[in-house]
Structure 1
Amino acid sequence: MRMFISMLTFFLLFNGANAQTYISPVKHTITLAGAFGEIRSSHFHAGIDIRPSAKAIDTIYAVADGYLSRVKTQRGGFGRAVYIDHPDGNTSVYAHLSVLLKPIESYVYQAQMKDESYEVDLYPEANSIKIKKGQAIGLMGNAGNSYGKHLHFEIRDTKSEVPKNPFLFGIKAGDNIKPTISYCTIHGLSPDLNDVHRTRIGNKFSSTEGGTIPTYAIPAWRAGISVYAFDQMKGSSNRNGYYEMKMFVDDSLFYYSKMDAVSYEEGDLLDAYVDYTTKSETGRREALLYRMPANKVSAIKYLRDDGTIPLFAGSKRKVCLEVSDFDGNKSFAYWYMVRDTAMKGNVPHADCDTKLKVEKAQYLSFPGGKLSIDAYTTPNSTGFSVSRDSAGITIGCRETAILKSIELCLDDLDSSSVSEKMIFAKIDETTPSSTGAYWSAGKYCTSINATGRYGFITDDKAPSISPGRFSAAAAKYSQFTFELRDNIRYSGQAKTFEYKVFVDGKFIPCEMKELVKTLYVPISQLSPGKHELLITAMDYAGNKSSFSRTFTK
């Protein structure tokens, strides 16, 4: 329900002028490592990623007057993130910070000490910590799920929490490089929008209307187009997302998308927005220029016939793609399509027990259990199956995009048969991934987010704590590093392992970067002399480990 409410607000987000002028969150010229709305592996990018300057330290500044409404520190995600509410109804977000500056730092430290946890998610009372326009709030960093130093910056509607394109507020980089249309695919489609044929034309098209335009014969009654395109800016080699995409067929508009706003909830729909098969096989994220039934992404502003193109044996259809960046630089792709006389039939579902009807909720039973599948869980109607043997449960008869969690419940177990060390996990991966589980009305239930193989494993191994940069003679050290790893990955409702760090018996909040499994223990604040270090870790199954050493500062 929240997602639909968020979508309804899109039409109201940009009415009227902004109540105040925003400044840049950095002092240097902005170049981007990531654009708003671009397609990431599991979500739409909800902000812009600003690259660092040539200086060692880049201070981050509040873009407008307001007050601190939220601050969060975590081992993954945004790492350190600051949220500032502004009087005009917007919230600015600053993420992956390496350092928080006062008074924010003091507020966070007190909460971390009280909770004995580095990870906190705090919501100060409105106007209790006021922030002035241009006030330094932190330093650009690489905290959380980040592969390099940068600032992830967002502007959200405060009430709906829907992110808006910061370029609409004047916070942008100059761009005179037109986007690149890198790869195109023509999909021959069945009535339920499954592929009956693919013609991967790549970049074999004309970039000008006056050039030699190729013709492709497609063995299907209708076609759909998918495209991988990107934008680059002067001073940056990053392949960023484009702003607008249009598709014309015989000079009539069939598809139009524009990245002005996108909610976080819409990220769940990503695999209905892209060609999921190509994404899973190659990693290339081709946007579908036709709408799968489950694709409710608001960036799509117009579709004719859901973007599908009827094909005729004796008449060519002219296709034109127009891709634009925010500054109006444009690229084009042209080709013709005609229906091939050698037609392909619908893709059979012989290997699947059931055909899921995308618009209906369905229940699939198997020995000792049941799957509960909501409507619009898959992008379109498709084959599906579930089976169980002595070693586990197989969900799906082929790799299929799962947009919503599927509830799996087992009714042939009782609490005495499932010990604390037994973990329900996805077991067809190199490292098993715990899904988390719960008892409901006497049934053992969990949430499934992907097709594959699932089953019980025993987890009796504690997280490992391995010294990285550590020495008992630490007079010249400013911090220690340790590698913290668990033998299980975590997804869904499963909780990751907890850790704590103590020096001389006193808890100290220490950052961990989940992406590289590294714990950072600062010691520059300690007085000279001997000190006792203790690190503890406990996983979801209750397995505990510790590291204890004496060192001299």
Structure 2
Amino acid sequence: MKPRRICFSFFISLLIPTLSNAQQSYPKDDFIAPVEFPMLLSGTFAELRSNHFHSGIDIRTQGVEGKKILACADGYVSRIRISPFGFGKTVYITHPNGYSTVYAHLSGFNPEIAAWSRAEQYRMEQFDVDLFPEAGLIQVKQGDVIGYSGNSGSSQGPHLHFEIRDSGTERPVNPLLFGIAVKDFTRPTINGIRLYPEGANALINGKATPFNPGIAGWGLSYRFSKSDTIEVSGGVSFGINAHDLLSGSNNKNGINRITVFNGNEIFFEWNAESFSFSETRYINSFIDYATYSSSRERFMRTKVEPNNKLSLYRKVTGNGILNIRADIVYPIRIEIADGSGNTSAIKFVIRGKVAQNGVIKPRIDGQVFSYKRLNRFVTPHLKISMPGSCLYDSIVFEYNSTASDGNSCAPVHMIHNAETPVHDYYDLSIRVDTAYHKLADKLVMVILNNKDKPSSAGGKYQNGFLNARVREFGRFSVMADTIAPVIKPLNIANNKKISAQQSIRVSISDNLSGIKSYRGTLNGKWILMDYDPKNNLLKYNFDELINPGVNEFLLEVTDDAGNKSSYNALLIN
């Protein structure tokens, strides 16, 4: 049964017009909500996430799995993605109006989608599949149940991740631009403003370091808690830390628009309308990455680095840097808005001061890595080959190393610093201590966090070096993974009677390199085992392959270093 549109229209009638600065007109009546209950969001479009902008909206499902998920418009299922990671179990629907909708983190599909995808999984003998049904094979009508809410993939709790994409370009577009509205009367919150000195002799209130004024007020009347006048010589850029609350929800969501005025002129504008997946990692240049690395606070910056190609910028003057002239007063107003048009603002004044020549700033000696060309760095124990596309701006490269701590098979190499983001992959080679060459096929490159906990970066051994492609700076070394994955049965045992249960549940885990593959069979035939890596869980729901009487279950698990484990049991049905 289709949901009645009258309730949805009521929400729309309550709202302030959405995104007045949008660059394109979108159809407002083509899509209905993908759920039958009131829309409460736990995530907004282009919200700031780790290494990416959020590509849709997260709809709360009342804290539970199994809620009906509806097709927002007529169309056909064009893709079914089932993965242990990312979006988990996902349905993609193509619509005749030129847009597609995406429904992710599902617990399961409707009977038709489930049967077709399950047959394909059995045909391919794998759980992780990316399927593209023939156009029109699985058709849906607006309001049809296509699946059920869940927590699959990299989800951290039951919810629906929902997207609208341009079918031709695959660019996600803010769903709130299509009339799929949420109840929201709350203005965004400004948590902090930061001013950054830009240039060799730039000073803010006499200092060559970022300035963090205290914030007071609310809504359209935010202000600096002390003086509203800041003295600046040279260039200055701005950072904004903010979040949004929606009516009926306590989640701190992302904002939708930033506009910085210099007097009556727009100096900078960022608008969360649409972006491509190829540019989503530019978030690490959009935010103050060094502050995020150290404190997990995200300041959105007006400064646009030369290799930042993010399309969400609407206007940028002077690369987001305001050049201050002596004895000139600059009235600054920063406005932020949410997806429903609710706005907050802060005003302050910058007074230009005569620049002081010869300001001494710390100098770092080292090789310059350019964002324009290939960069190489070589020592007897290390090789780096880094394309310019890896960097948002040129850097003075830093490097040092320390001896092995006894747990690693090579020295620990500090490659630049973890507070500088890396956009693309570069080649890293680390010389392995001679004593460990015999373990060549077990070696893994690792990156160490600030508590010395290693994370695998993979790698292949060749001629005394372990080679890997990595996408961050930090502390790297090499370790040997000689320990096989651990298999722990949760609800089965050898010769156990299983007639009263509906599934087989097994825990699998690995100490370092990570699970590469697994294969479960019943009486010699492959069975579909759903993998949930965040809970280390494999689950097989009984189907026609379970026989009356004795069944032989076998599970084989391999990690990325080639270590293998197996478990077998006779199960009595």
Matched, 1:522 2:518: no
Matched, 1:463 2:463: no
Q: 1:121, CA displacement in angstroms?
A: 1.1
The equivalent residue for 1:420 is 441
Pair 1:74–1:224, CA change in 2 (3 A): same
- Cα pair 1:21 1:64 within 8 Å, conserved: yes
- Cα pair 1:477 1:524 within 8 Å, conserved: no
What CA deviation, in whole Å up to 9, does each residue of 1:408-449 have, x standing for no partner?
Answer: 246999998772112223245644333233589998642121
1:513 to 532, 542, 546: 532
2:121 to 112, 116, 124: 112
Moved more, 507-516 or 150-159: 507-516
The equivalent residue for 1:157 is 166
- Cα pair 2:232 2:350 within 8 Å, conserved: no
The aligned amino acid for 2:362 is P
Q: 1:498, CA displacement in angstroms?
A: 0.9
TM-score (norm 2): 0.84
Query: What is the 5 A alignment of 1:186-201?
Result: 186-190=195-199, 196-201=208-213
The aligned amino acid for 2:259 is K
The aligned amino acid for 2:47 is E
The equivalent residue for 2:238 is 225
CA distance in 2, matches of 1:220, 1:518: 58
The equivalent residue for 1:9 is none
The equivalent residue for 2:85 is 76
Query: What is the 5 A alignment of 1:30-429?
Result: 30-53=39-62, 57-190=66-199, 196-204=208-216, 208=220, 214-215=227-228, 217=230, 221-312=234-325, 314-338=327-351, 345=359, 347-350=361-364, 352-367=365-380, 370-386=383-399, 391-397=411-417, 399-409=419-429, 419-427=440-448
The aligned amino acid for 2:174 is N
CA distance in 1, matches of 2:360, 2:540: 59
- Cα pair 2:201 2:355 within 8 Å, conserved: no
Moved more, 237-246 or 521-530: 521-530
The equivalent residue for 1:484 is 508
CA distance in 2, matches of 1:373, 1:548: 47
Pair 1:437–1:211, CA change in 2 (3 A): closer
CA distance in 1, matches of 2:209, 2:456: 37
The aligned amino acid for 2:213 is I
SS of match in other structure, 1:198? coil
SS of match in other structure, 2:284? helix
What CA deviation, in whole Å up to 9, does each residue of 1:116-163 have, x standing for no partner?
Answer: 211111122222322332221110100010011111111111222111
Moved more, 406-415 or 417-426: 406-415
Moved more, 420-429 or 277-286: 420-429
What CA deviation, in whole Å up to 9, does each residue of 1:14-37 have, x standing for no partner?
Answer: 766649812221111211111111
Q: 1:312, CA displacement in angstroms?
A: 4.7
What CA deviation, in whole Å up to 9, does each residue of 1:474-507 have, x standing for no partner?
Answer: 44433343332111256xxxxx421122233332
- Cα pair 2:288 2:300 within 8 Å, conserved: yes
Matched, 1:28 2:49: no
SS of match in other structure, 1:450? coil
Q: 1:114, CA displacement in angstroms?
A: 2.0
CA distance in 1, matches of 2:143, 2:53: 29
CA distance in 2, matches of 1:189, 1:206: 29
Q: Matched residues, percent identical?
A: 28
TM-score (norm 1): 0.87
2:523 to 504, 509, 512: 504
CA RMSD of aligned residues (A): 3.3
Pair 1:489–1:229, CA change in 2 (3 A): farther
The aligned amino acid for 1:401 is P
CA distance in 1, matches of 2:377, 2:439: 24
Structure 2: 5+ residue stretches without partners: 1-21, 403-409
CA distance in 2, matches of 1:79, 1:33: 18
Pair 1:201–1:500, CA change in 2 (3 A): farther
Pair 1:399–1:53, CA change in 2 (3 A): closer
- Cα pair 2:552 2:570 within 8 Å, conserved: yes
The aligned amino acid for 2:240 is V
The aligned amino acid for 1:284 is E
CA distance in 1, matches of 2:490, 2:352: 62
SS of match in other structure, 1:419? helix
SS of match in other structure, 2:106? coil
Moved more, 333-342 or 26-35: 333-342
The equivalent residue for 1:542 is 562
The aligned amino acid for 1:241 is G
- Cα pair 1:162 1:263 within 8 Å, conserved: yes
CA distance in 2, matches of 1:467, 1:345: 66
Pair 1:422–1:482, CA change in 2 (3 A): same
SS of match in other structure, 2:441? coil
- Equivalenced residues, count: 535
Q: 1:305, CA displacement in angstroms?
A: 1.4
Pair 1:110–1:61, CA change in 2 (3 A): same
SS of match in other structure, 1:95? strand
- Cα pair 1:74 1:119 within 8 Å, conserved: yes
Moved more, 290-299 or 420-429: 420-429
Pair 1:210–1:149, CA change in 2 (3 A): closer
Structure 1: 5+ residue stretches without partners: 1-12, 491-495
SS of match in other structure, 2:245? coil
- Cα pair 2:326 2:352 within 8 Å, conserved: yes
SS of match in other structure, 2:187? coil
The aligned amino acid for 1:541 is A
CA distance in 2, matches of 1:209, 1:116: 61
The aligned amino acid for 1:178 is R
What CA deviation, in whole Å up to 9, does each residue of 1:196-235 have, x standing for no partner?
Answer: 4111225247755697873354565221111111111111
Moved more, 339-348 or 296-305: 339-348
Pair 1:210–1:349, CA change in 2 (3 A): closer
Pair 1:211–1:14, CA change in 2 (3 A): closer
SS of match in other structure, 1:260? coil
Matched, 1:435 2:454: no
The aligned amino acid for 1:304 is T
CA distance in 1, matches of 2:24, 2:243: 29
CA distance in 2, matches of 1:345, 1:334: 29
- Cα pair 1:36 1:46 within 8 Å, conserved: yes
- Cα pair 1:207 1:334 within 8 Å, conserved: no
- Cα pair 1:182 1:202 within 8 Å, conserved: no
CA distance in 1, matches of 2:563, 2:143: 47
The equivalent residue for 1:533 is 553
CA distance in 1, matches of 2:94, 2:294: 42
Pair 1:58–1:207, CA change in 2 (3 A): closer
SS of match in other structure, 2:350? strand
SS of match in other structure, 2:48? coil
